[in-house]
Structure 1
Amino acid sequence: MTKTAHTEPAATRPNRWTTLVLAGAALASVTVGAVLPASAAEPQDAPVAGTVRAHHTVDTIALTAAMQPGAMASGTMVRVGGTGVTGWTGATGPLSQDPAAHFRIGSITKLFTSTLVLQLVGEGRFTVDTPVQELLPGTLPAHWEPITVGQLLSHTSGLQKPCVDFVEGEAPTPEQVLAHWTDPKCAAPQYPVLAQQYNGANYFLLGLVVEKATGRPYADEVQRRIARPLGLRHTYSPKPGDRSVPGPALTDSGEIEPWAWAEGGMLSNAPDLERFMTNLLRGRLLKPAQQRQLFVMPALSEGAEDRFSMGGLLRSEIDGTVVWGKTGSMGPSTNGVFATEGGRRTVVYSLLPASRDRELMRKHLTTLVGAAL
């Protein structure tokens, strides 16, 4: 185990898009509780309803025990920050001990996309009630009911799974991905929408909304609006066709196609994700109205296996403490970033699952993150 102030995650393996997006959505929806750190900037804490937990020193003995290779994971990286902690980082198994190791963050990318969208809402470019059909004419079938920006953010759009396979080894454009989701052979959105349903298509559409509203590529907006202002030097959305993972890499698993774009294609490292979550939860990136939306839970989230807010944050609880964040899978790794209210404690993790049992993995991740609270 290494004790450091920064960490970056790893590479992954090629996979066909349809398999990747469905498997990724399944693993990414494995929820855990988590915590959040302090950032280089000193934003004002954005108050969130609920009890504020008085954090104690991290139980490094319990955390180290949960990270040991075994039946649930062959290797684990964890970084904890926040009150009483200064970038505690450890890695076990075949994962890199380098605190600056890079990894593909999978569906954690969605938090960057939702942040961009809420920034544009705050600038008056559109509202959360604006139908995406108005913003992206011709992108969705004309006979579909209107789908709003807010429904995309909160996974309440009713969009169904794709039914068309992509060609092996090809990296489709976002438009081609959506064409597969909207193919006449596939199921149309179900109306009325009766439940929250996690779906990567929502965030492909939001990525296109960002590009249409700004007139600039999604990757450029990530840098201009989030990465550069926060000093996230290891966080970016790769260019089309870029399969590389810069060294040092968290895992030595070769190259992977960056299929997932605004839905799950970004790279980062643990220190950058910690700083991003801290600043996001402390109100550094959004105006007050949009900051409040981050924590509003739609009625349709009640009863859902994994509950997403109107701002795209995953809400979970560990021992009565509410945590906010996102999970993500890409290639061999399962990742997550979570924080308590106001970014007072954070946890970033990446592990190599040894079990495909969802319930056992949930319990393991809850234990892992709970040890950092």
Structure 2
Amino acid sequence: MAKKFQLVDTFEQRTPTTPPETNWKLCLVCQEETTESLVCPVLSKRRDPGSGYTTMAANLVKFDELGKLPRTVQLQRLDEGQGVEATMVAHQAKWHKTCMLQYNNTMLRRAEKRLIASSSAFGSTDNVPGKRARTHSSEATTSGTSCFFCGKSGTETLHEVATFQVDTRVRKCAAQVGDNELMARLSMGDMVALEAKYHSKCLLALYYRAKTTVEAEQKTDHEGVMSRIVLAELVLYIEETHLEEGTAPVFRLADLAKLYTTRMEQLGVALCKKVNSTRLKERLLAQLPGLRSQSKGRDVLLAFDEDIGEALGKACEQDCDTEAVHLARAAQIVRRYMFEDTDRFRGSFPGGCQEDSVPNVLVAM
């Protein structure tokens, strides 16, 4: 039978000693008095305060199975016969946060991966727990030397992902910005298990892109709703003005655009650029089929079909009575100026006599 080889860690060898008693007023792990505050799961505001003991007890047992529990932490002193978790709950065990982080799920995964790597080097994996062992592609293992986002190592410091909160937020941001390439890399597994490393500026750049994308979408939605409300108010204003008796309203597009801008600002929408008058005109014409636009120099005028026809008809009318009155008044004015001229005929026609005998008003006409 072929022998099985296993790497022996001499620093972790234990000597059979009687475990000391646990001082439950101190940190469960280090049993030392420090300035760091102690954390007690019982005092947690979570709905399931006892879950902290469950996780801690399970991780300590698994670390012990892997042979990675230091001599300072002995499960014998944490088990009074009812199990590690029950003993912790009975004594309301406490610990430092820094000590707890040494035995969390992340550190447990890393210990398992190191054991897998060392066992594979000697051709044996019998002692590796199968429940949490995970294998990844070569791309995942080599990504630890480069940034997970930009793929470059560079001279900047690489930070390693240590919490699942970072992985969750990165996945959320990748979905918000629609980065398919990043989402494909994330599909290989969580960033903690992949031992992904990143540049701080790359991670912050992703967060900023996601933030600006969400803000832009929210702003666009809000501005779109307010724009439709203001357009409806503008249409009602034009219709009510048109229904007034005895008036044929004509609207300047520039005035309507100014009214639109003012109303948008009143509703709390800060317009970063000038309102597109052409676009506003098209939206108004689509809502008011009887409205027509006419250009007059630089101005664009809006009026209804029935009002335009009435104005054109009135301009083409031939009012003879009015013309006769105008001619009579003009003749009266001419005669008055002619009678005021005192120049008389003296029997000859000297030079310039014609110009002198005609009133200046008539010459100007």
Length-normalised TM-score, structure 1: 0.21
Which protein, 1 or 2, shows the higher relative CO under an 8 Å CA cutoff with sep ≥ 6? 1
**Based on CA coordinates, which of the two structures has the bigger radius of gyration?**
2
The structure with the largest strand share of the pair is 1
The structure with the largest helix share of the pair is 2
